[in-house]
A = this chain, B = another copy of it.
Amino acid sequence: MCTMVTRGQPKRAPKRATMVDVARAAGVGLTTVSRVVNGNTSVAAELVDRVNAAIAALDFQPDESGRQLRRGVAGVIGAAVRATSQPNPVLRCVEESARAAGLMILAASTNDDTDLEREVVMSMWRRRFDGVILEPIGADHGYLAPQLAGGLSLVAIDRPIEGVDADAVLSDNVVGIEMAFRHLVQAGHRRIAYIGDDERIYTGRQRAAAFRACATAAGRPLTGLVHTVSSGNEAAVAAAVTKAFGGRYPATALITGNADTSVLALKWLGADARRIAIVGFDDSDTARLLMPELTVIAQDPATIASTAVALLTSRMAEPFRKARRVTVPVSMIIRGSGELRIGR
- Complex CA distance for A81 and B108, rounded to whole angstroms: 13
- Residues of B contacting A87 with CB < 8 Å? 85-87
Name the residue of chain B whose CB is nearest to the CB of A123: B104
Q: Tell me if A150 and B14 are in contact (CB < 8 A).
A: yes
A224 within 8 Å of B (CB atoms): no
- Residues of B contacting A127 with CB < 8 Å? 64-65
- Residues of B contacting A150 with CB < 8 Å? 14, 16-17, 59
Q: Tell me if A126 and B64 are in contact (CB < 8 A).
A: yes
Interface positions of A from 48 to 69, Cβ below 8 Å from B: 59, 61-66, 68-69
- Residues of B contacting A61 with CB < 8 Å? 122, 125-126, 147
Type the 1/0 row for A11-48, where 1 means its CB is closer than 8 Å to any CB of B.
Answer: 10110110000000000000000000000000000000
A336 within 8 Å of B (CB atoms): no
Q: Tell me if B109 and A106 are in contact (CB < 8 A).
A: no
Interface positions of A from 234 to 259, Cβ below 8 Å from B: none
Stoichiometry, as copies per complex, reads 2
Type the 1/0 row for A88-122, where 1 means its CB is closer than 8 Å to any CB of B.
Answer: 11111001000000001111110100000000101
A205 within 8 Å of B (CB atoms): no
> Which of A78, A122, A127, A147 neighbours the largest number of chain B CB atoms within 10 Å of its CB?
A127
- Complex CA distance for A122 and B111, rounded to whole angstroms: 28
- Residues of B contacting A123 with CB < 8 Å? 64, 104
Task: Known contacts A88-B85, A267-B289; decide if A147 and B64 are in contact (CB<8 Å).
Answer: no
Type the 1/0 row for A170-213, where 1 means its CB is closer than 8 Å to any CB of B.
Answer: 00000000000000000000000000000000000000000000
- Residues of B contacting A83 with CB < 8 Å? 92
User: In the complex, what's the smallest C-beta–C-beta distance from A4 to chain B, in angstroms?
Assistant: 11
A10 within 8 Å of B (CB atoms): yes
- Residues of B contacting A125 with CB < 8 Å? 61
What are 16 A-B interface contacts by the 8 Å CB criterion?
A10-B320, A14-B150, A17-B150, A61-B126, A65-B69, A69-B69, A78-B106, A79-B84, A81-B85, A84-B85, A85-B88, A85-B89, A104-B108, A264-B289, A267-B289, A286-B286
Beyond A59-B146, A84-B107, A106-B108, 9 additional pairs, beta carbon < 8 A: A14-B150, A59-B150, A64-B126, A65-B65, A81-B85, A84-B85, A84-B88, A85-B90, A86-B87
